[in-house]
Amino acid sequence: MNSLSISNSRPAACFEIFNAQKAGLLTVFMQILTMLLEVGVYFIMESKGYFVSNEIFRMIILPVATVYIGGAIIATFGILTKKRLLITIHTTITMTLMLLTDILAVSIILLMAIGKRSTYLNELPGHFVNERKFYSVLGPFWMYLGAISLHITVAVNMAFLQPLNEFSSSVQVSG
C-alpha cells in the first residue's frame, strides 16, 4: 500500500495507516492517555508507601503533567486549525521534558556509580523513596530499572514526535 498524504507527496504518517492529520490527533490523544496513566500509577504507588516525600513528588509530577497535557491540547488545536506554531509549542515542551527526564536518568546512574563512595549520596535515595519496598519488588537493581524506565519514557516521546513533525511538515509545505 503506497498511501500518500493529500497535502504533499510524502508517505502518510503512522505506518501509512492514517494521513498526517489523523496520525497527529491520535498521537496527542495517546500522549494525554500516557500521562494520565503515569500520574495514576504514581498515586497508586504513593498510596502503597513507595514514596517518602510525597509533597516533593507531587510538586514535580502535577505541574509536569499539567504542562505536558496542556501542550498536547494546544497541539490538538494546532492540528485542527493547521497552525504550525501551536504544534511547535507542544514539540518544544515535549523536547524540554525529554531532556529533563534524560538528565534525571543519567543522574540516577551517576548516583549509583558514586553512591557507595559518599555517605551523603548513598543515603540520598532514602530521603525520597522507600528503598526496601522498591528492593522487594525490583531487586537490587531497582535504581537502574528506574533509570531505564526514564530512558524508555524519552524513547516513547521521540516516537510520539514523529507524526507531529510529519504533520508540521505538511502544513509548512501547503501553507
Burial pattern 45-59, b for ≥16 Cβ within 10 A else e, equals beeeebbeebeebee
For residue 10, what pLDDT band results from cuts at 50, 70 and 90?
Answer: low
Give the span between the Cα atoms of 175 and 30, in whole angstroms: 27
The whole-angstrom separation of Cα 100 and Cα 20 is 28
**Quick one: pLDDT at residue 170?**
84
Residue-wise pLDDT for 22-49, tens only, equals: 989 999 999 999 999 999 999 999 999 9
Q: Give the C-alpha distances (Å, rounded to integers) separating 5 from 10, 85, 124, 154, 163.
A: 6, 21, 52, 28, 12
pLDDT in tens, 50-79: 999 999 999 999 999 999 999 999 999 999
pLDDT at 17: 79
> pLDDT tens, 115-136?
778 888 888 899 999 999 999 9
Domain boundaries, the chain: 20-169
Instruction: Kindly state the cell numbers that stand for 168.
Output: 508540521
pLDDT at residue 115, rounded to an integer? 76
pTM of the model: 0.84
Give me the pLDDT at residue 114, please.
86
